[in-house]
């Protein structure tokens, strides 16, 4: 009975090896660990219980010291300088020229309070400006407009979208722009202002506000191009060699699409409201330009929705590819196990070691058994191949 025990032991070890291989394969095909979606809005726990209008910076402090720059211009005049106090900015209120006041850093509440005092800005408006987690919106007041939007740029090093809140106060002869950090995407506008003879020099602050919104929306197209290239790369990976990293990239791209959608969807309403509302601060000649920006936001939204549908289909394609790969592996393992079934049967029969087994006394019994086992294995492989199971 010793040979029988050996054959059974070998068969058991083969089955155990197959089970281990299947377990390892299943472990390698775990889709991904569920990671909570980061909150787009800044935390506001510190504001709980405070009265309305209390100035408090909400968000990440991105600059050490607040910087204030001024560009004052008309058709024949241009002045550009950096100032150190809000009082110097207030001196431009009575001028007939257009003044662009750019404030980098919204964390200094003393500067925010002075702006409210000198320019007549309501504390609730200043509170919204200091809260960098706001969705894009527009508020109409007696002497000014508040426009909040998201300025997005693409970090080529970390390959992700960087969001920054931009708050615009449109006054009778000035635009006050609040940014979270030093550096922005408005340099093309500055160059147009510096170039004498362009239309922007003889237009009012409403056109300047339009130009800022227009360039913000234009950057959305740039980001969509970057994401479109990434989606094409992911499609190629799915066709060639899908893996867990591919699914992580799909998930990250979907999250960035959500960020982009949350920035564009409310902005469409803002620009549509500016274009259609009867506002004394918006000249009739500027409304046609706002209509053009509104059309651009519609195009961006359509592209975002199309890309989101593509990404949703890519997840289904990934799961299908992984399932097909699992099926292929299981098919191969099943074929191997099926081939060993008759071989194990033969080894078990001649491993029983009974006393009266004529084949055990044959001179060529052992080679004959190997020949039979080999023929059986080859025949089964040929049969599986003919059935296209391999």
Quote the distance between the C-alpha of residue 244 and its chain's center.
17
What's the pTM value of the predicted model, to 2 decimals? 0.74
CA distances from 13 to 7, 278, 333 (A): 10, 83, 15
Predicted confidence band of residue 325 (pLDDT cuts 50, 70, 90): confident
Model pLDDT for residues 253-265, shown as the tens digit of each residue: 888 888 888 888 8
Q: What is the mean pLDDT of the chain?
A: 83
Where do we find the tokens 């300047």? 208
Q: What are phi and psi of 304, to 5 degrees?
A: -60, -45
Number of H helices, E strands in the chain: 9, 7
Q: Which two tokens stand for residue 364?
A: 């060529």
Calculate mean pLDDT across residues 100-127.
Answer: 92
pLDDT of residue 22: 39
CB of 174 closer than 8 Å to CB of 93: yes
Topology of the domain covering 45-322? Beta Polymerase; domain 2 (3.30.460)
Q: What are phi and psi of 261, to 5 degrees?
A: -65, -40
> What is the rounded distance in angstroms from the CA atom of residue 82 to the CA atom of residue 91?
14
> What is the rounded distance in angstroms from the CA atom of residue 346 to the CA atom of residue 77?
102
Degrees, nearest 5: CA angle 257-262-264 = 90
Is the predicted pLDDT of residue 354 greater than 90, yes or no?
Answer: no
Task: Kindly give the pairing relationship between strand 160-170 and strand 174-179.
Answer: antiparallel
CB of 134 closer than 8 Å to CB of 40: no
Model pLDDT for residues 149-196, shown as the tens digit of each residue: 999 888 888 878 888 999 999 999 999 999 988 888 999 999 999 998
Predicted confidence band of residue 8 (pLDDT cuts 50, 70, 90): very low
Q: What is the DSSP letter of 283?
A: -
List strands edge to edge, sheet with 174-179: 78-83, 67-73, 98-104, 174-179, 160-170, 145-155, 137-140
pLDDT of residue 348: 84
DSSP string, 227-273: HHHHHHHHHHHHHH---HHHHHHHHHHHHHHHHHHHHHHHHHHHHHH
> What is the rounded distance in angstroms from the CA atom of residue 328 to the CA atom of residue 82?
68
Is the predicted pLDDT of residue 19 greater than 70, yes or no?
Answer: no
Q: What is the DSSP letter of 202?
A: G
Calculate mean pLDDT across residues 267-272.
Answer: 90
pLDDT of residue 47: 65
Is the predicted pLDDT of residue 390 greater than 60, yes or no?
Answer: yes
Calculate mean pLDDT across residues 53-62.
Answer: 77
Q: Domain locations in the chain?
A: 2-29+324-386, 45-322
Beta bridge partners of 100: 71, 175
pLDDT of residue 293: 94
Predicted confidence band of residue 44 (pLDDT cuts 50, 70, 90): low
CB of 318 closer than 8 Å to CB of 242: yes
> What is the rounded distance in angstroms from the CA atom of residue 2 to the CA atom of residue 292?
89
Q: Is 173 helix (H, G, I), strand (E, B) or coil?
A: coil
pLDDT of residue 295: 94
> What is the rounded distance in angstroms from the CA atom of residue 65 to the CA atom of residue 42?
21
Predicted confidence band of residue 120 (pLDDT cuts 50, 70, 90): very high
């Amino acid at each position: 009975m010793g040979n029988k025990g050996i054959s059974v032991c070998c068969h058991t070890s083969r089955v155990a090896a197959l089970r281990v291989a299947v377990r390892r394969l299943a472990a390698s095909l775990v889709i991904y660990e569920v990671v909570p979606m980061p909150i787009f809005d800044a935390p506001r726990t510190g504001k709980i219980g405070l009265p309305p209008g209390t100035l408090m910076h909400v968000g990440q402090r991105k600059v050490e010291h607040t910087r204030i720059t001024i560009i004052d211009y008309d058709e024949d005049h241009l002045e550009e300088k950096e100032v150190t106090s809000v009082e110097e900015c207030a001196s431009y209120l009575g001028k007939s020229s257009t003044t662009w006041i750019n404030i980098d850093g919204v964390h200094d509440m003393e500067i925010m309070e002075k702006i409210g005092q000198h320019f007549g800005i309501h504390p609730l408006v200043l509170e919204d400006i200091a809260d960098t987690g706001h969705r894009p919106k527009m508020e109409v007041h007696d002497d000014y407009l508040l426009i909040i939007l998201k300025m997005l740029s693409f970090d080529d090093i970390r390959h992700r979208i960087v969001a920054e809140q931009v708050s615009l106060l449109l006054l009778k002869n000035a635009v006050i722009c609040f940014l979270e950090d030093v550096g922005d995407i408005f340099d093309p506008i500055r160059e147009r202002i510096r170039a004498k003879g362009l239309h922007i020099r003889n237009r009012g602050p409403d056109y300047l506000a339009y130009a800022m919104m227009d360039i913000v929306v234009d950057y959305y197209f740039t980001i969509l191009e970057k994401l479109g290239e990434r989606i094409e790369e992911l499609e190629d990976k799915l066709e060639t060699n899908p893996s867990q990293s591919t699914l992580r990239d799909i998930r990250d791209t979907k999250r960035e699409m959500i960020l982009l959608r949350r920035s564009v969807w409310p902005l469409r309403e803002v620009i549509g409201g500016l274009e259609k509302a009867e506002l004394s601060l918006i000249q009739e000649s500027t409304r046609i330009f706002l209509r053009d920006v509104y059309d651009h936001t519609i195009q961006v939204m359509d592209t975002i929705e199309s890309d989101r549908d593509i990404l949703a289909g890519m997840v289904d394609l990934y799961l299908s590819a992984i399932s097909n790969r699992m099926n292929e592996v299981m098919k191969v393992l099943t074929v191997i196990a099926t081939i060993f079934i008759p071989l194990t049967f033969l080894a078990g029969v001649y491993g029983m070691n009974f006393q009266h087994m004529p084949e055990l006394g044959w001179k060529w019994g052992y080679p004959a058994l190997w020949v039979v086992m080999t023929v059986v294995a080859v025949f089964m492989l040929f049969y599986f191949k003919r059935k296209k199971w391999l």
